[in-house]
Each structure stands twice: as C-alpha cells, then as structure tokens.
Amino acid sequence: MMESISTEEKIIRAADKIFTQKGYAATRTREIAEEAGTNLALLNYYFGSKEKLFRNVVREKLKMLLSAMGPIASDENIPIDQKIKMISENYTQLLLENEDLPLFILNEWSVNKKLFADLIRETRQHAEPVIEKQLRESGVAISVEDLIVNTLGMIMFPFIAKPMILSSGLVQKDQFAMFVEKRKEKIPEWIKKITVKQEPL
Amino acid sequence: MMESISTEEKIIRAADKIFTQKGYAATRTREIAEEAGTNLALLNYYFGSKEKLFRNVVREKLKMLLSAMGPIASDENIPIDQKIKMISENYTQLLLENEDLPLFILNEWSVNKKLFADLIRETRQHAEPVIEKQLRESGVAISVEDLIVNTLGMIMFPFIAKPMILSSGLVQKDQFAMFVEKRKEKIPEWIKKITVKQEPL
DNA sequence: ATTTGTTTTAATCATTTGTTTAAATCGAGA
DNA sequence: TCTCGATTTAAACAAATGATTAAAACAAAT
C-alpha cells in the first residue's frame, strides 16, 4: 500500500527544510517549490504567500522547541534534579535530530519579535512559578533565571555554535554527536554542583 | 575643530549597523546608503559590491569576538581560573555594548561557512594546547572542550536567547543588563564548582 | 458521458534589488 | 583661472523575486 503524501504536505516539508536551513530572508519561494517537486504557483495556491507559509513552519518548530521543556518543567511532582535530567535528555535528542532548530528559532525571533509574540500567546507555558517554589523548598543557591539559562545554554549552545566549534578544531566533525551525547549525561551533574550550597568554613 | 568622518567611514558604520541587525540576506543596499546619508552608488564606488562590504563588516566583527578571548586564553602565565574571570569580564562587557554580535556571527557562520573559513585562516588562535596543559597540571575533572563550551555558552547564551528570555518573562527588559552583570561575577564561581574534583567517599 | 469542483501548469506582472553609467560637482595644484 | 583627478548625483538596467491569471488536467459524483 503506497502511502503517497499530498502536494500540500510536500510543500510544507520542503519549506521546513529550506527555511530552517537558510532563514526567511535568504529563502526563495522558487527553491521551496523545486524542493517540493511542484510548481511555484502551488505554494501561493495552498498557503497564500511566502509569509503565511513561513508562519506555518515557525509555529511547528517553536512548538517542537517549547514542548521539549514546558510540560516537564511545570510538573510539580517531578523533583528538580530529575527535571534537569529529563530535559537534558529530551533536548539533546531533539537537537541531534534537528541540528539547526535552535539557531533558526533564535535568529528569526530576534529579527521578527512581533511574529513570535503572537505565537507565544498561543503556547503559554507556566513553568517558572513551579520551579521557583521547588528551588525555594530545596534551598539551593541559585535563581530560577540562572538555573534555566545555564541549563538551556549548556544544552543548546553547542548546536548554536557548531560551525565555530568545528572550525576551531575544538571538536572533530565526526565526533560532534558523541560530544553532545556525553554532555547530555554531564550537564545534570554540572548543574547539581552549581546549585549546591556552599559548605560553611 | 569639527571632526567630520569620511563618506567611506559613514558607509561602513551604516553597513555595520544594518548587517548586524538584520543579517546579510535581509539587508538592502539602499537601506545602508540611506542610513549613511549618502547615495546608493557610493556603496559600489567605495566597496565594489554588497558582498565585499559585508566581508569588511564581518571581518571586524569576528575579530572583535575572537580578540576578547584569544590573547587571554593562550597566555601561559595566567592561571586558568584567572582566565575564566577575565574572559567572563571582557566578554560580558563587549556583548553589553554589542548585543547582537554573537547571534549575528553565529548565524552568518552557519549560513556561509566558506566565508568564515577564509576569515579564520587570517586570525588563527592557539589557545587549546595551552589550556589543555593547564588543565592537566591542575588535575581538574573536565575536558577542554567542555570547559570552553560551558564558559562561552554561559556568557553568550543570554544574549543569543535574549528575545526568548524577555518574551517568557524570565527577566524583565529593564533588568536584563543587571542580570548579565551579575552573571559576569557568578560564572567563574560556577565554572570552578564544575571543574572541582569529586571528593572521595 | 457529463458536469462540477479541485488541482496543476505555463506564462506573465509588478516590484524590488544589486549594479552600472554618464554627467555634474568639488578641490587642490599649476 | 584652468586643469585634472577624485567624489557625488541622478537615472537607468538587467536580473531576481513574490504574486497572479487563465487555461488545462484531473477526479469524483450524477
């Protein structure tokens, strides 16, 4: 049974690929059409305009990025160090399969804050108060902001800075996946060390 | 004595501003000309093409970014924890004055690896072996790769993810500078905690 | 087989965009 | 003042680009 995908779906996938790779401004609608194996007019027939197609793609990508964290972070029943572990695991896995996802999202966000303000309104997350409470109760020496920024930074930064890291020779190209796989395990330990209270002298 | 800047300089500054803000693809040469208060043709008169002007800007920006780290990291006479302190200090200062520098560089790098391969060849850094040696001698429990990625990540990530951080309400807009100023002091402490050897049970 | 609505194609449009050209203006030196 | 090269302006060009149109092909229902 030959499962054939619709033209609309083919266009979405092509748009996904090209937009994520090159960003909105550098993407040509003709290239998307070609990648989808269809006609340029089909793109406008199905999606109305380049921008509307872009919104479609960004909405999905943003959901991807947020849903790897939100539900875990806001669950009151998961202890905080368990959360870090799960998020480190989930995110690294997600980013290994979508390497240019974070840079794409963060760059387009910085260029088009309006678009993301709209999309965020649809996808509200409420993790902060929960983590705040958990941090206070466990009495560790770090703020929510720093905890989240450090955790996400450690996970995402290697992917964002990948070209720089490779070009500097710090990590070999074929070792990169291994590099982040290993970090995946270490990050929760690092965060634990960071958040631990100073021993009294 | 009225210090007036040359047209060439005015164009460079305008290009700097617009390119850094919007990236190469989204930048219109006409906008640069307007921002510089000159004619569109002047841009080609002085720099030949949009791309050559872009290379000019990128070369300077990349040098900026690398020179805040390179000379310190490769100096054998500075102990490693002092290096972290200095780099955290320097970089935060630099990025506070050039907030979109890291996202600009990393994004253009990912889009145009060839250009950066050329530029990097001009600006070779040799920090890695030095730090490797220092790490081995101090016998800490972390690799050079992880140390560098964690340090740079902690410093740069807040700037890269600024729109997301603000939009999430994690940090208020008018508190952002304060937020990274404080992190500037904490990062060396965090790195120290991370790199410290595990106590034997 | 005919009709009807949907999907696809090929061609074209209007605008934008990087670049060029040719003439005008400026400024210093003879 | 005149000249000559450097700088600036206004206009135009060619290609690229997002979007549209009108007709053709297709598919399902009657």
In CATH terms, are B1-48 and B55-195 the same topology?
no
Among all chains, which residue has been given the structure tokens 């972390």? Answer: B142
pLDDT at A201: 47
Per-residue pLDDT tens digits for B177-193: 999 999 999 999 999 99
Quote the DSSP letter at residue A25: T
Look up residue A171 and give its amino acid: V
Phi, psi for residue B132 in degrees, rounded to 5: -50, -50
| SS3 (DSSP) at B12 | helix
How far does A167 lie from chain B, in Å, by closest CA?
7
Check CB contact under 8 Å for A150 and B190: yes
Distance in Å from C10's C1' to A41's CA comes to 10
| Separation CA A187–CA B142 (nearest Å) | 12
Q: CB neighbours (10 Å) of residue A190? A: 23
Residue B195: other Cβ atoms inside 10 A = 21
CA of A39 vs C1' of D21, distance in Å? 15
For residue A24, give the H/E element and its range: none
Distance CA B99, CA B114 (A): 25
Contact status, residue B128 vs residue B144, Cβ threshold 8 Å: yes
Give strand C nucleotides closer than 7 A to any protein Cβ: 7-11, 16-22
Average pLDDT over residues B157-165: 97
Quote the percentage of chain A above a pLDDT of 70: 94
Q: What is the mean pLDDT of chain B?
A: 90
Q: What is the pLDDT of residues A27-57, one digit of tens each?
A: 999 999 999 999 999 999 999 999 999 999 9
CA distance B37 to chain A (A): 24
Share of chain B above pLDDT 70, in %: 94
Class of domain A54-195: mainly alpha
| Mutation to test the A interface, candidates B27, B58, B150, B187, most A Cβ within 10 Å | B150
Burial label for A105, CB within 10 Å (0-12, 13-18, 19+), is buried
Per CB-CB distance under 8 Å, the chain B contacts of A128 are 168-170
Residue-wise pLDDT for A132-165, tens only, equals 778 777 777 888 899 999 999 999 999 999 999 9
Residue A125 · residue B168 · CB < 8 Å:
yes
Q: Kindly report the bases of strand D lying within 7 A of a protein C-beta atom.
A: 7-12, 16-22
Q: Would you state the CATH architecture of domain A1-48?
A: Orthogonal Bundle (1.10)
How near does any CA of chain B get to the CA of A183, in Å?
A: 8
| Residue B199 confidence class, pLDDT cut points 50, 70, 90 | low
Record: fold of B55-195? Tetracycline Repressor; domain 2 (1.10.357)
Residue ranges of domains in chain A? 1-48, 54-195
Phi-psi category of A2—alpha, beta or left, where left has phi over 0 and alpha has psi -120 to 50? Answer: beta
The 3-state DSSP composition of chain B as helix, strand, coil percent (nearest 5) reads 75, 0, 25
pLDDT at B2: 41
Distance in angstroms (rounded) separating the CA atoms of residues A162 and A150: 18
Whose structure tokens read 């940090």? B171
Question: Which of the 8 DSSP states describes residue A195?
Answer: H
Nearest to B25 among A25, A109, A125 (CB): A25
Which nucleotide lies at the shortest CA–C1' distance from A31? D17
Cα separation, B164 vs A107, in Å, equals 10
Contacts of A167 in chain B (CB under 8 A): 109, 113, 116-117, 120
Whether the predicted pLDDT of B198 surpasses 70? no
Which pLDDT band holds residue A14 (cuts at 50, 70, 90)?
very high
DSSP E strands: which ranges in B19-115? Answer: none
- Give the nucleotide nearest to B45 (CA→C1'): D7
Six-digit token string for A83: 């959360």
Q: Is the pLDDT of residue A200 over 80?
A: no
* CB-count burial class (<10 Å; 0-12, 13-18, 19+) for A20: buried
